[in-house]
C-alpha cells in the first residue's frame, strides 16, 4: 500500500507575475526549486492565502536567483502579483519509505528570500 504525503512546500511565496496568455504552469525561481526538491514539470498544488483559491498546475524553472513566482495561463485568473501563496508537491510513499520520510519545507519572506528551512511542520496548539 502507498500513502500520499507532503513531499515539498514553498511557504508564503509572493506571486511576482501573472501571465494569462502563456501556455500554462507556474514558473518558480530555479534556486527555490532546487532547495525544495520540486522538479521541473512536477505537479504542484497552489493555495492562495489571499482569496482561498486552490488549484493544480505544474512547475517550470524560472531564472536562478530571480525570486520569480509566475502564475501562468488560466490560473492567472486565480492569483495575481502580490498574492501570498503556498506551493506544495506530494508523492506516493511505501510503508517502508514512511519510516524515514521527511518533507522539504522552505519558508519565504518578503521578496521571496528564504527565511529558513525545515523538515517538520510545527505542532499546532489550541
Q: Which residues are catalytic?
A: 25, 58
Annotated binding site for substrate: 57, 73-75
Residue 66, judged by CB atoms within 10 A of its CB (0-12, 13-18, 19+), counts as: middle
Q: What is the phi-psi region of residue 100: left when phi exceeds 0, alpha when psi lies from -120 to 50, beta otherwise?
A: alpha
Annotated binding site: 57, 73-75
Pair 1, 67: CB distance under 8 Å: no
Backbone angles phi, psi at 80, to 5 degrees: -130, 170
What cell does 58 get?
Answer: 505544474
Q: What is the phi-psi region of residue 72: left when phi exceeds 0, alpha when psi lies from -120 to 50, beta otherwise?
A: beta
Amino acid at each position: 500500500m502507498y500513502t500520499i504525503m507532503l513531499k515539498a512546500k514553498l511557504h508564503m511565496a509572493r506571486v511576482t507575475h501573472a501571465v494569462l496568455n502563456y501556455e500554462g504552469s507556474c514558473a518558480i525561481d530555479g534556486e527555490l526549486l532546487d532547495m525544495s526538491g520540486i522538479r521541473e514539470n512536477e505537479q504542484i498544488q497552489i493555495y492562495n492565502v489571499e482569496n482561498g483559491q486552490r488549484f493544480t498546475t505544474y512547475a517550470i524553472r524560472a531564472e536562478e536567483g530571480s525570486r520569480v513566482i509566475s502564475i501562468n495561463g488560466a490560473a492567472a485568473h486565480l492569483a495575481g502579483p502580490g498574492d501570498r501563496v503556498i506551493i506544495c508537491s506530494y508523492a506516493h510513499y511505501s510503508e517502508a519509505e514512511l519510516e524515514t520520510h521527511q518533507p522539504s519545507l522552505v519558508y519565504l519572506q518578503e521578496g521571496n528570500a528564504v527565511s529558513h528551512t525545515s523538515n517538520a511542520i510545527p505542532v499546532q496548539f489550541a
